[in-house]
Amino acid sequence: MSDAVRLENVWKVYGDGPSRAVVLKGVDLRVEYGELVVIMGPSGSGKSTLLGIIGTLDRPSTGRVYVAGVEVTSMDEDELAAFRLAHVGFVFQDHNLLRNFTALENVMYPMLLTRRYTYEEAKEKALELLRLVGLERVADRFPSQLSGGQRQRVAIARALANDPDIVLMDEPTGNLDIDSAAKVASLVKWLNQVYGQTFLIVTHNPELATLATRLLYIRGGRIYEKPPESVLSKKLVEEVRNSELRTRIRNSQLRLLEVELRALRRLVAQGRIPRCETEARLSLLRNRANKLLQVAARSGRDRLVIDSA
């Protein structure tokens, strides 16, 4: 069995009629055991929805989802909860630690939920997992007493508690400073290389791409192996070439400059502005006018001359 995760033609649709939103569009995906897969995508690309479906927190509208070789799409909620506890680990952007539990208790908790461990066994294993992530000395501290990076490493230890087939990470360094992010990222890489843990990370942070044994991209609800042409870049080119938009902006700028010039002349006439400031403002208006004149000259339209105030 080589696949920790397999998705077949997964679609996710929310709502009906005019409010209908297609978030995932026929996604096929395989993550093999031992991989560290990073999926990069901007906000709104569907990456968090994808992670939720893989982690059995959400269901696809159509398609099949397999985790650890088991099809999970037909399971009921109770079955999914038990399956998720045993086979999937989660690390969220906001660590989601239980604030009234110590670091040790947070790591113990998922083990105790399975009823496979006694309290002492769960405690022993939790201490070892905290030692693995370099936090055994803060085992008795509450989340509020830990730094952001420490909280995220506790979350990783908790994710490993039940020896999951895969650990899913949603923007795991998104709320961290540079030093903390580097520690978390290096820990993930080490756990993959040495510990053999399978990871799937979704992010918009290109620096996390350096961790990957395989890098994928998500745009508009579809998965790509190579960076797709940016829809935003295409739209920018279209807007820049939009003559109607250019004319509207240019005409608005002309009117704004006229208002600024009238106001400046009034202030000078009333003696309410020193000469040095008058010259500075007039210079700014001239510079803006010159740029507009250059644009107007290229289009053969509009003329504006700003005289001395």
Residue 309 lies in a domain: no
pLDDT reported for residue 261: 84
Domain boundary among 206, 230, 254: 230
What does the angle CA 115 – CA 120 – CA 125 come to, to the nearest 5 degrees? 85
Q: What is the pLDDT of residues 63-116, one digit of tens each?
A: 999 999 999 998 999 999 999 999 999 998 887 899 999 999 999 999 999 999
CA angle (292 as vertex; 288, 294 as ends), nearest 5? 120
Same domain, 199 and 295: no
Distance CA 271, CA 280 (A): 16
pLDDT band with cut points at 50, 70 and 90 for residue 265? confident
pLDDT range class, residue 308, cuts 50, 70, 90: very low
Domain boundary among 203, 230, 257: 230
36 and 178 fall within a common domain: yes
Q: Are residues 169 and 270 in the same domain?
A: no
Higher pLDDT, 42 or 128: 128
Query: What pLDDT score was predicted for residue 280?
Result: 84
| CA–CA distance, 126 with 76 (Å, rounded to integer) | 30
- 226 and 266 co-located in one domain: no
Tell me: do 172 and 196 sit in the same domain: yes
Q: Are residues 276 and 139 in the same domain?
A: no
Regarding whether 252 and 221 lie in a shared domain, the answer is no
* 151 lies in the same domain as 274: no
Give the pLDDT confidence of 268-281 residue by residue, as tens digits.
888 888 888 888 88
Last residue of a domain, one of 207, 230, 253: 230
Structural domain includes residue 121: yes
* pLDDT number for residue 241: 61
pTM check: above 0.85: no
**Domain count of the fold of the chain:** 2
Q: Verify that 218 and 249 share a domain, yes or no.
A: no
Average pLDDT in the chain: 86
**Whether 63 and 198 share a structural domain:** yes
Which has more confidence, 308 or 140?
140
Specify the higher pLDDT residue, 13 or 297: 13
Domain that holds residue 280: 242-299
* Same-domain status, 82 and 224: yes
